[in-house]
Amino acid sequence: MRAVVTVVGKDKTGIIAKIATFLAEREVNILDISQTIMDEYFTMIMMVDLSHATAELAVLAEESRQLGEKIGMSIHIQHENIFNAMHSV
């Protein structure tokens, strides 16, 4: 199963490293990543594979939200189908 991870917040050192480490520790594979800095804001979208994840999507979503609070970022994980449905017009 694939999911989309979105990250937004004020830019600071180590954001990608912290999120990649969080995912790797849970056996989540990063398939694709796009990130940019817009003024002082960091934005990132990742496509990830949850096939071998050590936790269910709901648990990963809550843990990533908590990580976001800890590092001052907004982090969301959604099933790919939900993300696509929300962003189609």
Q: Which tens digits make up the pLDDT trace of 25-61?
A: 999 999 999 999 999 999 999 999 999 999 999 999 9
Class of domain 2-86: alpha beta
Integer CA distances (angstroms), 89 to 21, 37, 71, 80, 86, in order: 34, 26, 33, 16, 8
Can you spell out the DSSP letters for 27-43? TPEEEEEEEEEETTEEE
What pTM was estimated for this model as a whole?
A: 0.88
Percent of the chain with pLDDT over 90: 88
Residue-level pLDDT at 57: 96
The structural domains of the chain, with segments of one domain joined by +, span 2-86
Q: Which tens digits make up the pLDDT trace of 56-65?
A: 999 999 999 9
Residue-level pLDDT at 84: 59
Q: Which two tokens stand for residue 5?
A: 């991870």
3-state secondary structure of 51: coil
**CA atoms within a 13 Å half-sphere pointing along the CA-CB vector of 40:** 2
